[in-house]
Structure 1
């Protein structure tokens, strides 16, 4: 049920709508950045906090997220598990894709209708600071309406035969259920069972992850028949209507701005000059680059794009196997999962009510251990790079140091802000984005208005993609809570650990997150399983920061593990390498990282030493 055929490639209506969606998403992101920065400066310089700033910033983020998600859908950027669909015969695959496009349209339309209805129902109600509640729901509904139009165009671009086959197959499935429910209602599976079955069928059928999560929640609502549809829209909004999550679009923006302003290229080139000529030097540079970029941008795919776009071509020029280079790039991304300000650490801190600053500090030594292991392996297995005859003229080292100094200034700003308590994670991410704009436009003079605007559009689209998944996962998490699934899972894991020891709980948690991390996008896996497992860990006496780090690394292993890991597919697209060429080398890298994870899991001091020393 993959969704292809981007709307940007045609349509007199949808092409202007896509430009409008991009513009609105980017403007809302700019407005958010201004609101947060001005609020912090007024509070710090004049001791005059703006009471409505948080509410306005959250509302702007919800609107930007849904318009950004609409643009991502129009460009077919939504991630889905295509592994199983690709094995089907061509005719069957076309039918499955048509069903998927139809379901995406239905889900988007349902979100749009109920978000607008929720706006109408909340008219006259205000937030704690006095702002109208409908200001959150109407932009959300408008973004979802754009999403519906783009999804409908993707469906209609198929042949009439495929469209009719998709409609007929969907109608037959719905008709069979209704007939079963009418003829033998007592034998019909429960709404919870149908929800889970529907989720896994659509997920493995290639439906984009965010829509598979949302559809699962909708199946429960439709079958149960007791919950109003506006609850679904309310829970989706609630999933991202939080000031903490604003750090996600801002850190993603930092990553794109660094790429646009030349900071990333300068830093990577400097690392190549420093260690690139040693044994396995280019691979060592790749690992070190991922360490540095994860400490700045927070966005995993932005890091992979920034590093891969420079070093994968360099690997080809030096006659390295590009499949091995992409495999190391993916493994380095796993290693960097706990280097602050990683987005998944922010999401876990939000859903599990953990200190984000504490998680940032707790992830440093585990990441250092994994980075060291990868670097040692690169040196042992590596060869000295062959001289490249057609090398381009080199930039003077003095010019590269400016990029390095600017990059380290950004890292210092992030950690200084946390340690001093000057600002929250969201506020620091906003100032980091402003810093990247100033450096690129004034210091380097490489960031024009056009490239900055393009960075804002890209950031709004990418963060909309992530936050739509977060919103959909929240709607499913709400349904799971209604079904008392967290309570049942907690009791089961406690009883298992009580009879076999805490070590079994830790191993099971690692296995669950690796498996679900490979099936789901990382944020969704953490949102669903973080709140389920963390309370059990605390009851068993496991430090929550330590357990949170273990969960995030486990999820990262799954996210980049073949054959389902969506992160690995992203790395292969960036490196322009077939996934088959990466499987053998990446299994070796992931095996090494798994050993590191087991050491981290069963030696808690690796995660807890720094937080305790710094008072977290």
Structure 2
């Protein structure tokens, strides 16, 4: 989400507030229905040997609908991810005009998605999926969700001062008019559609347009300029980007993260770690690293992990008179370390787009994460201080049932890893049962998860997963355009030629640099979706193990995501810890430097990533 949105938590306007409630409800209900469908399907297959043939199609359709309604709710609350670093440096008047143009573009893109998704639903009426379900059931919910997005975007634009709205409309019209005049008077000198697409993407991205919309606009610029592709292809590709059963693991693991926070499991785990190692030298920092290890191994949602750990330990760092900027920097570095701890969402996304074994990626990421965790723990102990004797760093309130909570949490970890190894269920099915397990623990064992809290968890999860999956959908539409232009082939040939003359090591270093840079500019999922399929085939041709290379890509992306000054993840950690980003720059650079050294070791010592997968048959 944008930094301002996390800080402000703005609610929707008076006009659309009822619509936001409707959007929240629909997104949450569709997510809950998805959970029921997946669980019932697995139980029917396992207990009665009677697979539910339509379950996959229904689950995917429900996910597409939930994602777009969730994305609409996120848009209404201004929670979309965007790069604000550059626009913050603009003069106030220019900044207002740029913001107005961005708000107008969001409304235009949302309307284009809604119109073409509904049109696609009408065109597919009467057609059915492999299991016999109507195809329009996928596109109509998507179109209605995008229509909600359009309404929310228009209200955001209309809520600006009239002068700013006029300035935004005029600026957008001038840009479009200049292109049309240029194309009419000197068509031979007009830049290619590829160039316009690239320029439009970076201008809007650095202008603060939310990342998902910047990706979608890049694809639309090509479609509009070329004029050969119908708009329904754009909507079809967006739906195709998330219409996959594997990606259902994303909203379910995000749900697990929110449930852990609501059912008391998070607090119990952190408290137990504080009592176990909190009194040692640098103990609070060690607790922070270990907490991120445990939470990333359960919830899969990075920002949910950061919020759960940071909301408890950053106040504890303040009470112990520790530098809060250093604590937030370590929190961000721990999130980078945890990028390859299963069931990380980015591993799931990479496995999906690059056609890699998700279970294999999960196993391959464990030793690299352990290496980085040990490095962070060692630094925390060496440079850390013992907590104050007064015990001010202790939590303010005791938490009962610590060992019960720990056992329940480790039971969830065991369920996830046993499910993958045994082959009992897929990543999506395991994530669904993990969510059910978290609900049962919170409501029956801890008795802290009431109906209201449960409903709130589903709404939050649907909104957060809608944000992520909308970016995935937009990135898929751009990836489709890049494929049409044979960009993957050209990139592959270029990288192969460089590696052929200089060695595989140069390809590995270039891949790391590309993902670090693009990870800082784009949200992690978008960087992996675009560059994963481009680079992985080249790596395979050069003899690099794909699981090993996938782990290197994900860690590189994580370094960029939390690197100043652009890293969106770092801004999120600072806002959760209520610390200005300036206070974190110096310590985070030290931590990221350490993690970069670990990454280079992982990249050039492949056995760290491949030993466990090979031993376990992946």
Q: What is the TM-score with the length of structure 1 in the denominator?
A: 0.98
| Counterparts in 2 of 1:267 and 1:544: CA distance versus 1, 3 Å | same
Q: C-alpha offsets along residues 505-545 of structure 1, whole Å, 9 cap, x if unaligned?
A: 00000000000000000000000000000000000000000
Deviation at 1:389, TM superposition (A): 4.6
Of 309, 314, 319 in structure 1, the residue corresponding to residue 321 of structure 2 is: 319
| Counterparts in 2 of 1:7 and 1:256: CA distance versus 1, 3 Å | closer
Mark the runs of 5 or more structure 1 residues left unpaired by the alignment.
none
Corresponding residue SS for 1:24: helix
- 1:136 paired residue number: 138
Deviation at 1:399, TM superposition (A): 1.6
Corresponding residue SS for 1:226: coil
- 2:550 paired residue number: 548
Judge conservation of contact 2:320–2:393 (CA < 8 Å) in 1.
no
Would you say 1:587 and 2:589 are equivalent positions?
Answer: yes
- 2:497 paired residue number: 495
- 2:440 paired residue number: 438
Q: C-alpha offsets along residues 285-327 of structure 1, whole Å, 9 cap, x if unaligned?
A: 0000000000000000010000000000000110111110000
CA distance in 2 between counterparts of 1:563 and 1:184 reads: 40
Corresponding residue SS for 1:472: helix
RMSD: 1.3
Judge conservation of contact 2:316–2:393 (CA < 8 Å) in 1.
no
Judge conservation of contact 1:8–1:15 (CA < 8 Å) in 2.
no
Judge conservation of contact 1:3–1:101 (CA < 8 Å) in 2.
no
Of 379, 390, 403 in structure 1, the residue corresponding to residue 405 of structure 2 is: 403
- 2:265 paired residue number: 263
Corresponding residue SS for 1:83: coil
CA distance in 1 between counterparts of 2:100 and 2:69 reads: 24
Deviation at 1:392, TM superposition (A): 5.6
Judge conservation of contact 2:3–2:571 (CA < 8 Å) in 1.
no
Corresponding residue SS for 1:601: helix
Instruction: Report the more deviating stretch, 11-20 or 505-514.
Output: 11-20
Of 55, 58, 73 in structure 2, the residue corresponding to residue 56 of structure 1 is: 58
| Counterparts in 2 of 1:318 and 1:479: CA distance versus 1, 3 Å | same
Judge conservation of contact 2:387–2:393 (CA < 8 Å) in 1.
no
Of 209, 216, 224 in structure 1, the residue corresponding to residue 218 of structure 2 is: 216
Corresponding residue SS for 1:13: coil
- 2:573 paired residue number: 571
| Counterparts in 2 of 1:3 and 1:232: CA distance versus 1, 3 Å | farther
Deviation at 1:9, TM superposition (A): 3.7
Deviation at 1:12, TM superposition (A): 3.9
- 1:235 paired residue number: 237
CA distance in 1 between counterparts of 2:74 and 2:325 reads: 28
Q: C-alpha offsets along residues 324-343 of structure 1, whole Å, 9 cap, x if unaligned?
A: 00000000000000000000
Judge conservation of contact 1:3–1:97 (CA < 8 Å) in 2.
no
Corresponding residue SS for 1:124: coil
The 5 A counterparts of 1:63-74 are 63-74=65-76
Deviation at 1:388, TM superposition (A): 3.7
Instruction: Report the more deviating stretch, 151-160 or 2-11.
Output: 2-11
| Counterparts in 2 of 1:385 and 1:134: CA distance versus 1, 3 Å | same
- 1:475 paired residue number: 477
Judge conservation of contact 2:12–2:76 (CA < 8 Å) in 1.
no
- 1:248 paired residue number: 250
Of 597, 600, 613 in structure 1, the residue corresponding to residue 599 of structure 2 is: 597
Q: C-alpha offsets along residues 470-495 of structure 1, whole Å, 9 cap, x if unaligned?
A: 00000000000001000000000000
The 5 A counterparts of 1:139-158 are 139-158=141-160
The number of residues matched between the two structures is 614
Deviation at 1:393, TM superposition (A): 5.6
Q: C-alpha offsets along residues 201-246 of structure 1, whole Å, 9 cap, x if unaligned?
A: 0000000000000000000000000000000000000000000000
The 5 A counterparts of 1:32-181 are 32-181=34-183
Mark the runs of 5 or more structure 2 residues left unpaired by the alignment.
none
Q: C-alpha offsets along residues 382-418 of structure 1, whole Å, 9 cap, x if unaligned?
A: 000113459566536x721111111100000000000
Q: C-alpha offsets along residues 164-206 of structure 1, whole Å, 9 cap, x if unaligned?
A: 0000000000000000000000000011110000000000000
Q: C-alpha offsets along residues 544-572 of structure 1, whole Å, 9 cap, x if unaligned?
A: 00000000000000000000001001101
| Counterparts in 2 of 1:217 and 1:3: CA distance versus 1, 3 Å | farther
CA distance in 2 between counterparts of 1:183 and 1:41 reads: 66
CA distance in 1 between counterparts of 2:557 and 2:213 reads: 20
Judge conservation of contact 1:3–1:100 (CA < 8 Å) in 2.
no
Q: What is the TM-score with the length of structure 2 in the denominator?
A: 0.98
| Counterparts in 2 of 1:393 and 1:144: CA distance versus 1, 3 Å | closer
